[in-house]
Amino acid sequence: MSKEIKIKINGIEYSGETGETILKVARRNSIKIPTLCEHSDLEPKASCRLCLVAIEDRKGLFTSCSTLIEEGMEITTDSEEINRLRKKNLELLFAQHIERCNFCVRELDCEFLKLAKEYEIDIKKYEDRKIGYPKFKFGPSICFDSSKCIDCRNCIEACEKQGVGFLDLESHNSFLEVIPSKNSKRDCVYCGQCAIHCPTGAFMEIDSIAEVETALADKNKYVVFQIAPSIRTTLGEEFGLPYGTDVTGKIFAGLRKIGAKKAFDVSVAADVTTIEEAGELIERLTRKKILPMFTSCCPAWVKYVEFYAPEFIPNLTTVRSPQMILGGLSKTYFAKKDGIDPQKIIVVSIMPCTAKKYEITRPELNIDGLPPIDYVLTTRELARIFKRNKIDLTLLESEKGDTPWDEPTGAGIIYGASGGVTESALRTAIFQLTNGQKLEQVEFKNLRGMKETKEAVIEINNIKIKVAIVNGLGNAKEILKIIKQDPSRYDYIEVMACPGGCIGGGGQPLPTTQEIRELRAQGLYNIDEIKSNRLADESPIIKKIYQEFLTNQEIRHKICHTHYLVKQKENNF
Amino acid sequence: MNNLVIKLKEANLTGRGGAGFPVALKWESVINALGEKKYVICNASEGEPNVFKDGFILENYPEEVINGIALAMETINASEAYLYLNPNYYDRFEENLKKIIKEKSIKLFKKPHYYIAGEETVICNLIEGKKMEPRQRPPFISTVGLFGRPTLMNNVETFYYVSKINKGEYKQTRFYSLNGQVKNPGVYELPENLSISEILKQTDNFPDFEFFVQVGGGAVGEILSSEELDDQAKGAGSITVYEKEKTDFYKIMENWADFFLEGNCDKCTPCREGIYRLKQMVKEKNIDLSEMEPIFENLEKASFCALGRGAAAPFRDLIKKILK
């Protein structure tokens, strides 16, 4: 039960509720208290010791991130003593962290460095303790540079929260340090939540910018870019636009400026995924095949199933993720249509995700010996490329995407938010099961939102579809336990490894918090709401591609489906 | 009020783990805490250098200790207790303790070697199978302790005296670990109001050379010159004598720094990085108080737990009082 609590901060009265921390009330009222280890997704660590404040009539100082407000508390957030301690702590934190500022995920917006300037500290007061500390590469996705780590252990908690637990503490020379797990039953699934929760850029994507720049400079290559559904309402943040701003047209314009031959929209292929997946679901339901069916668009989830729960591999839909389908279509249908040698086409996929870098390396996805996608860049990497090329997204005039993959339906766009895949698939399933009647209901608002596990039962022509929607891998782990106990509890389960779905992906701009994820998702739903086509089946592009190219089972299988393999541990150090 | 709690209050028994908190008060707060289930933990982690009296008690008077734990369980109405032993004590006393415990629900738990693993909230985390990190306080373990339940934690010597007090055999004594440059090292049970110099004299350990002492623990203990021995021995009751001329001050400080670095949890910045910087300075024999004092202050005021808060004083005192 929450009740109003009155407190004073720096002499001014504010109100809060039971259970709120001093930091939360201070932030709500725009009172700045410095923090590094605090992240609203995680438990307060109170380890960096920067957010110290004084409380009247109490001995000592208190970390505002972990101290709950009490009636009548009088808090002082700044004093000579507090500033002196914060400075020393900052100096000590910089004394362990090796600065590689010119090549860092935080290079353009680093809170750590900002604090150093604000508190006027000498970041080189002490010799760096972590000189020579190792770099670990997790698959083709994530790099952990342990010499940048300030030991806040947020990554460990984030990884545990994901149900993965690939990061451990190990003792080296009297220091307990973060290291990748040596346990053979633990492996990285590449979701990148470590990077989202690391305050100092010790975890970041393995960068493919140089490779993409080389391809762009190569006259013999034909570089096409394709953008994921979710990045259209997140990239703007990197250029100071409000959370959730739709910058689709500006991204296309920017991509052309850096030399894209074509700028495509992956949401178009999300519409293909929807149709294939709805078809598979109807088939599994009507022919009483293996249920529940799991979505497979999220490569971290797929790796999780293959490694941690291989007994559930038959439950994964065989449909490929939208990026793979679009890459495949570009190197086959598009290449033939436009008379381009598919060998010369380089497909660069802009994704909110670090696991997508892993997905493109799966050999079973190759088509006629070619990988459908050549490089994946995260949202953050694209921002870096734009900035290095002096492209200010905010100043660009919006442009359209390139045909044939330019105009998605609303269904393809909401893929970027948790519940979006299910909502899209349900729109199509209802349309197909009712033999193409106009949908009475397009929006399934009970499937939306940041809630970790959502459930619904949808009845169409006497067929009941029991769905569950999960975001955050740790919650998926729980759902798997439930299914083991009660296999018929659900028919269809959508899993997105990252909190909130792809809008909270491991490759998205920093910071990412729950409030920010909500606004990014809302941005996608706003685009959907004003689309004239909100059903994959109604898309003229989709109708055309099924009439002209995906005409038979064999070609559909080649372009749109895949299979899965039990995985052994891939990251041994 | 419970009979035994009254006796503890009348005896003025204070905790013998180091903090010296009144035992009766602690017991009362657990008795008054709401909870369907409550726990008792006997802390036998005794991890600080130069302190070994709990080991002595476990070796010589294990029955009294177990009796004290059982009395506590009865008094606070706890269904289970843990005897939390450092790895050395666990290996040495496991067999004998189990014989004495018999059917009582007192479980033995082996501590990891880290010093911080003797801190009470860390003990709760470790028994629960969680990370070796201290918890934010409040809540205190008397209300939210092991598995979130009200928990009474006392040290081995405290439980020994609980048993003695219950039998009416308590004579206001405590155990002292004497060591360092002394003729007769060992554990002595002597009146608790004796001054440090009296203790040294009565045990025939008073040095005939220039010396200083560390009292209350071989790392966080207080540094006292030979002129400052009129007080009682505080903390965990150890007295370590150093012969001034033969002592390598830098080495002592480096040993402290190593002990803290090895034994802490590395969670908070002051303790992890501050002590490391102190170590670098003493290793390089670079004793500059203007550089050290900000680190001392940071340890004392900004550390997460008592380990970091107590780590600065011995360095400062040794430099200021003895090294000069």
**What number is the ipTM of this complex?**
0.92
Chain B: closest CA distance from residue A276 (Å): 45
pLDDT of residue B115: 80
A92/B277 CB distance under 8 A? yes
A49/B297 CB distance under 8 A? no
A89/B267 CB distance under 8 A? no
Interface membership of B292 toward A (CB under 8 Å): no
**Interface mutation vs chain A, best among B114, B130, B137, B269, most A CBs within 10 Å:** B269
List the single residue in B265, B280, B298 with the smallest CB-CB distance to A88: B298
Query: Which residues sit opposite A205 in a β-bridge?
Result: A142
Q: Are B151 and B38 in contact (CB under 8 A)?
A: yes
pLDDT confidence band for B188 (50 / 70 / 90): very high
Tell me the C-alpha distance between A73 and A26, whole Å. 13
Q: pLDDT by residue (tens digit) across B43-99? A: 999 999 999 999 999 999 999 999 999 999 999 999 999 999 999 999 999 999 999
Interface membership of A79 toward B (CB under 8 Å): no
pLDDT of residue A438: 72
Interface membership of B273 toward A (CB under 8 Å): yes
Whether residue B142 is predicted with pLDDT greater than 70 in this model: the reply is yes
Architecture of the domain defined by A210-560: 3-Layer(aba) Sandwich (3.40)
pLDDT confidence band for B265 (50 / 70 / 90): very high
Q: Which residue type does B2 have?
A: N
- Strand B80-85 and strand B106-110: the pairing is parallel
pLDDT confidence band for A401 (50 / 70 / 90): very high
Contact list, B311 vs chain A (CB under 8 Å): none
Interface membership of B249 toward A (CB under 8 Å): no
Q: pLDDT by residue (tens digit) across B167-181? A: 999 999 999 999 999
Neighbours of A209 (CB within 10 A): 15
Interface membership of A61 toward B (CB under 8 Å): yes
Neighbours of A390 (CB within 10 A): 7
Which whole number is the average pLDDT over A519-539?
A: 94
Tell me the C-alpha distance between A356 and A349, whole Å. 9
B-contacting residues in A 393-412 (Cβ below 8 Å): none
Give the lowest-confidence range in B105-119, B208-222, B251-265. B105-119
Whether residue A566 is predicted with pLDDT greater than 80 in this model: the reply is yes
Chain A: closest CA distance from residue B246 (Å): 28
pLDDT confidence band for A102 (50 / 70 / 90): confident
Q: If you average pLDDT over every residue of chain B, what do you get?
A: 95
A95/B297 CB distance under 8 A? no
Contact list, A150 vs chain B (CB under 8 Å): 269
Interface membership of A122 toward B (CB under 8 Å): no
Interface membership of B130 toward A (CB under 8 Å): no
Nearest C-alpha in A relative to B302: A49
A85/B304 CB distance under 8 A? no
Whether residue A103 is predicted with pLDDT greater than 90 in this model: the reply is no
Q: What are A448's two structure tokens?
A: 């939306």
Output the pTM of the full model.
0.94
Whether residue A1 is predicted with pLDDT greater than 70 in this model: the reply is no
pLDDT confidence band for A437 (50 / 70 / 90): confident
List the single residue in B261, B265, B273 with the smallest CB-CB distance to A95: B273
CB pairs under 8 A between A and B: 72
A-contacting residues in B 133-172 (Cβ below 8 Å): 136
Q: Where are the domains of chain A?
A: 4-78, 93-206, 210-560
A47/B269 CB distance under 8 A? yes
Interface membership of B125 toward A (CB under 8 Å): no
Please give the angle made by the CA atoms of A545, A550 and A552, to the nearest 5 degrees.
150
A92/B274 CB distance under 8 A? yes
Q: pLDDT by residue (tens digit) across A264-291? A: 999 999 999 999 999 999 999 999 899 9
List the single residue in B265, B266, B301 with the smallest CB-CB distance to A60: B301
Whether residue A436 is predicted with pLDDT greater than 90 in this model: the reply is no
User: Could you give the C-alpha distances from A140 to A190, A377, B38, B190, in angstroms and in order?
Assistant: 9, 12, 50, 67
Whether residue B1 is predicted with pLDDT greater than 80 in this model: the reply is no
Q: pLDDT by residue (tens digit) across A180-220? A: 999 999 999 999 999 999 999 999 999 999 999 999 999 99
A129/B268 CB distance under 8 A? no
pLDDT of residue B100: 97
Domains of chain B: 3-167 (3.40.50.11540), 173-243 (3.10.20.600), 249-323 (1.20.1440.230)
Chain B: closest CA distance from residue A192 (Å): 23
Which whole number is the average pLDDT over A527-551?
A: 94
Interface membership of A47 toward B (CB under 8 Å): yes
Interface membership of A49 toward B (CB under 8 Å): yes
- Residue A362 CB-density burial (10 A; 0-12 exposed, 13-18 middle, 19+ buried): middle
Contact list, A52 vs chain B (CB under 8 Å): 301-302
Interface membership of B274 toward A (CB under 8 Å): yes
Tell me the C-alpha distance between B131 and B129, whole Å. 7
Interface membership of A46 toward B (CB under 8 Å): yes
Contact list, A85 vs chain B (CB under 8 Å): 297-298, 301-302
For chain A, what is the total number of helices (H) and then of strands (E)?
19, 18
pLDDT of residue B94: 97
Q: pLDDT by residue (tens digit) across A369-381? A: 999 999 999 999 9
B255 Cα distance to chain centroid:
18
Chain B: closest CA distance from residue A89 (Å): 6
Which whole number is the average pLDDT over B232-239?
A: 93
Contact list, B259 vs chain A (CB under 8 Å): none
At a CB cut-off of 8 Å and minimum separation 6, what does A246 contact? A232, A233, A236, A523, A526, A527
Chain B: closest CA distance from residue A157 (Å): 11
Which whole number is the average pLDDT over A488-505?
A: 97
Which whole number is the average pLDDT over A375-400?
A: 97
- Strand A142-145 and strand A203-205: the pairing is antiparallel
Interface membership of B262 toward A (CB under 8 Å): yes
Whether residue A455 is predicted with pLDDT greater than 90 in this model: the reply is yes
Which listed CATH number (3.20.20.100, 3.20.20.150, 3.10.580.10, 3.30.70.20) goes with A93-206?
A: 3.30.70.20
Reduce the secondary structure of A288-301 to three states and give it as a string.
CCCCCEECCCCHHH
Interface membership of B17 toward A (CB under 8 Å): no
Chain B: closest CA distance from residue A409 (Å): 48
Q: If you average pLDDT over every residue of chain A, what do you get?
A: 96
A129/B276 CB distance under 8 A? yes
Architecture of the domain defined by A4-78: Roll (3.10)
Give the residue among A429, A219, A404 at the shortest CA–CA distance from A330.
Answer: A404
Percent of chain A exceeding pLDDT 90 equals 92
Chain B: closest CA distance from residue A568 (Å): 28
